Structure 1
C-alpha cells in the first residue's frame, strides 16, 4: 500500500506534490506540536542546567519512574529483571545492577517490550545495521516532550522551529529518481520547511540547489552533514557566496568530520551545531553555543564502557515509556573528554569530546585497522583535488574507493589520487579507484564514509 501511494505521489505535478507534503506535515504537526508541547518548550527554554545537584535529582527521579513503569507494564522487563531486586534501586548510580539490553534481544522480544497498543502510539522505525525495520512505539506525550526539548535547543541559536524558514536535507524520497524538471525540492508550507533531496546531489544538479537556496533564504539549514557539505563545497569551489546568512546549521545522524565543519561554517558564515539521538529514543547529546558536546542527563542516562574502537555507549532514554530502553547497547562509540573539562556555557551536563560513529566504522587492511577519524584526516589532506570520498571494505581485504574529484577526471589526476591512497594504506592493500559524481547512501539517505561489501 505504501509503495502504491508513493507511485501515485510521483505522478502528481510539482504543485500537488507540495500540497501532499504539506498535508503530511500537518499530520506530523498534530502529532508532535500539540498538547503538552508548548508547556514543555517553555519549561525547557528556561532551563540553564547549571546546578549539578538539581540535575542529578532530576535524573534520579526520572530513572526510577521509568524503571517502575517498565517492570509494571512490560512483560519483557518483568521477566528480564525477575532475579534482580530492582525495588532496591534508588538512583541512577544503581543502574549497573541491571543487565545490558542488546539490539538482538530488543529485536527478538519487541512485542513483549511494548507497554502500549499500536492504536495508542506513534510508531517510529529504525533499520540499523541489519536493514530490518524495527518498530518502536512511543506515547504522544513523550514525542511532544522530545520535540520541545529539541526546539528549546534550537532557540539557543535564535531559531524558532515552524516559525522561520528552514532548508532540510534528510533522506526522504521526496521525488522520483529521474525527475522531468530540475526541481529537487518540495515544500511543507505548514512547517515553513523546504525539503531538498539528498539523492540527486550530483555535479550536474548542484547549481539548481544553490540557486534555489539563494532564492529561498532559509533562517536555518538542518539535516545530514554530508549532504550540506556537498552543497557548501560546490559553492566554495565555484566562488559562489550565499545571498543569505542562516542563524545556524543543525546536523544529526552522521559523524561531523572536521573538514565538513570547516567548509560549512566558512561558506554559510554561521555556526554548525550537532546533536545526537535516535529513532529508538536515545537521550540527547547536544552541542552548545560554545561548541561542547553535552550529555543531556535530564533526558536519560549515558554509560561509557571500554570497548574495541573506543568507548561503547549504553543509553537509557527517559522518553521511551512506550518501548522502554534501559541500559540499551545502541552500537555507537563516543570520544570521552578529560574529567575536569568545564564548558564556558556553565552547564553541569557532562562534556564529551564527540561521537565517533558506529562500532563497525573501520577498515581492516594488510597494515591493520583504519578508523573513520583517520580516513577523515586523509580526505581533508586531498581537498584541493577531491570533493568527497567513500571507502568500501571488500571481502578479500581490499578497499574500493569512490571519489568525486574537484576538477576534470584525467589520467594524471587518477594516478595522483591512487598514489596518495597507496601511500596511506601501504603496499599490502589492494586498492581500486572509481571516479563518480555521486556516492552511495543508505535507504534512509544517510552517508557512510566506510561501507562493507555485501
Structure 2
C-alpha cells in the first residue's frame, strides 16, 4: 500500500516537472519569437557583450575610443545641432586622438537637449526606429527616435546583467511599474506582460499587494521602483503570507536603492536588492554584479565625473547622439585601481548619491540638494542611525522632513544636530516621524521643491 502511494506521488512529481519543462519551453519560444520580430539584432549584441565582459580595461577603452570616433564623425556630418556646436567651439573632431580628448567637446545640458531635440537628430535613415519618451519627472518630457540596433544593444546589456544571476529574460517575473493607467492602457500592458511571462502591480491597495506577493511564489526575479519593492517587503514581513523562496534576483531601478532597504528586502525575499542604473536617453549606465559592485556598461556608455556630477556619452546610438550629457545625478566613481572579485575589468560606480534636483532655499542663502544625502549618510556612518526620508520645501527658508520610522529622543537629537550643522539658523524646519511619502509620477523623490525657480 505504501509502495503504491509512493509510486503515485513519484508519478505526480514527474508530471509536474514535465509540465514545468514544457511551460518554460513555451515561454522561451514566445519570448524569443517576439524578440526576433522587435529586436532582430539583440542576439548578436548579447553574444558580443558576453565576450567583451572578459576583456581587459585596456581592451574596453580601445573599443570605447573606436565607438566615440564613429559617433563624433556621424554627429558632425549628420546632426545640425552638433555641426553648429563644433563650429562654435572651433572643434575639429578628426583631431580627437585619444579617449581623454573628449574633454575638449562641449557639455550637453538637459535644457539644451530639450530645446534642440529636433536638430540633435541625425538625418541618417534606419530600417527601424522606436519612439522613446522620458518620464518627465522634472516637468518636461523628451521624445526622440532610437534606432533598432541601439535599442537592441541596450536590452542586451540588461540581459547580460541578468545572466550574472543565472536569469533568463523569459523566466517568470514581477514588475513594480506603471501606475494610474487608463483602462485601455492597462489591457495593453496585461497583454505585453503575458508575452514576457510577467505580472505587475497596478496600484498600491492591500488586495493588489497580496495578489502580487502570492504570484511571486513562483517567480525567478522581481524588478521596478526600489521604494515600492521596499514597501512591499515591509508589508510581507509584517504579514502572515508565505514568503517566496525561488527568487534569484531583486532589481531596483529608476530610484536610488537605499541601504536601509536591504534588511527588510533580504528578510522578505531571501536576497538583497541590486541596482540597475540608467536613463532613457543614455541607456544602461551600470549594473550591479553578484559581488555588489556596479560595473559601468563600458561598451555602451562613456562615463565622466565632474564636480561629483555624471556626464554620459551613449556610444551606441546614432539616430539621436548623446555626447557628454549632464544627466543630473551626483555619483562617486571608484578609483581605476579598484578590482572586483567577480573578475570583470569594467570600471565601477561606487555610489549614485542622488539627483542634483532643485536648490534648497534658506532665508538668505541657497544650498545644493546633495546636503540631504550627507545629513542622512552621516547619521548612518557615525551613529548607526538609518532613516528613510523625504524632504519637502513649499516656502523659502522652510523645510519639512518626513521620516518613515518612529524616532527616539536620541535619534531626534542627532538628526537635529546634523541639520543645524549644514543649515545653521538659515532654515526653519519641521520633523515629522511615522510619515508616508509623496510620489511623483510613480517615483519616490527624496527632495520635492514646490518653489518656482
Maintained 8 Å contact 1:107/1:134: yes
The normalised TM-score by structure 1 is 0.78
SS in 2 for 1:229: helix
Q: Give the corresponding residue for 2:439.
A: 441
Residue 78 of structure 1 pairs with residue 83 of structure 2: yes
Residue in structure 1 matching 2:97, options 84, 87, 90 = 90
Contact 2:108 2:325 in 1 (8 A): yes
Do the aligned residues in 2 keep the contact of 1:313 with 1:331 (CA within 8 Å)? Answer: yes
Quick one: structure 1 residues 404 and 304, their matched pair in 2 at CA, closer, same or farther if it must change by over 3 Å?
A: closer
- Cα distance change, pair 284–422 in 1 and its aligned pair in 2 (3 A): closer
- Contact 1:283–1:301 (8 Å) recurs in 2: no
Give the secondary structure class of the aligned counterpart of 1:346. Answer: coil
For residue 216 of structure 1, report the CA deviation from its aligned partner: 4.0
- Whether 1:323 and 2:320 are equivalent positions in the alignment is yes
Task: Flag the 1:390–1:262 CA change in 2: closer, same or farther, 3 A.
Answer: same
**Which sections of structure 1, spanning at least 5 residues, go unmatched?**
1-24, 180-184, 407-412
Shift of 1:361: 7.2
2:129 maps to 1:124: no
Could you say which residue in structure 2 is the equivalent of 1:114? 121
1:237 deviation in Å?
Answer: 3.6
- Correspondence for 1:7: none
Hey, what does 1:134 align to over in structure 2?
A: 142
Deviations 1:33-78 (A, max 9, x none): 5311122223323433342222122111111111111111111111
Correspondences of 1:154-303 after superposition (within 5 Å): 154-161=162-169, 163-174=170-181, 188-197=193-202, 199-200=203-204, 205-206=205-206, 208-217=208-217, 218-238=219-239, 241-303=242-304
- Asked if the contact 1:391–1:451 (Cα under 8 Å) also holds between the matched residues in 2, the reply is yes
Do the aligned residues in 2 keep the contact of 1:229 with 1:264 (CA within 8 Å)? yes
The CA distance in 2 between the partners of 1:149 and 1:421, in whole Å, is: 40
**What TM-score, normalized to structure 2?**
0.78
* Contiguous gaps of at least 5 residues in structure 2: 1-29
- Once the two structures are TM-superposed, the CA of residue 138 in structure 1 deviates from its matched residue by 0.4
Deviations 1:278-309 (CA, angstroms, capped at 9, x unpaired): 01124521211111112222112111112xxx
Query: Deviation string for 1:357-416 (max 9, x for gaps)?
Result: 211377566897732253366599677xx8x5421023232222345567xxxxxx8999
The change in CA–CA distance for 1:317 and 1:32 in structure 2 (over 3 A counts) is farther
Between the aligned partners of 1:87 and 1:104, the Cα distance in structure 2 is 28
> How many Å separate the matches in 2 of 1:296 and 1:212?
31
Q: For the structure 1 residues 342 and 399, does the alpha-carbon distance in structure 2 shift closer, same or farther, using more than 3 Å as the test?
A: same
Deviates more, 1:289-298 or 1:221-230: 289-298
Match in the other structure for 1:146? 154
C-alpha distance in 2, partners of 1:259/1:113? 41
Aligned to 1:68: 73
Q: Which residue of 2 aligns with 1:55?
A: 60
Q: 1 or 2, which has the higher helix percentage?
A: 2
1:425 aligns with 2:419: yes
Measured in 1, the distance between the counterparts of 2:161 and 2:212 equals 27
Q: Aligned-pair distance for 1:453?
A: 2.2
Distance 2:306 2:221 in 1: 36
* Contact 2:129/2:147, CA 8 A, preserved across alignment: yes
1-structure distance, mates of 2:359, 2:240? 34
- Between the aligned partners of 2:436 and 2:393, the Cα distance in structure 1 is 18
2:329 alignment partner, SS class: strand
Is 1:452 matched up with 2:427? no
Residues matched between the structures, number: 402
Distance change in 2, residues 1:98/1:141 (3 Å): same
Offset of residue 314 of structure 1: 0.9
Q: For 2:236 and 2:408, how far apart are their aligned partners in 1? A: 23
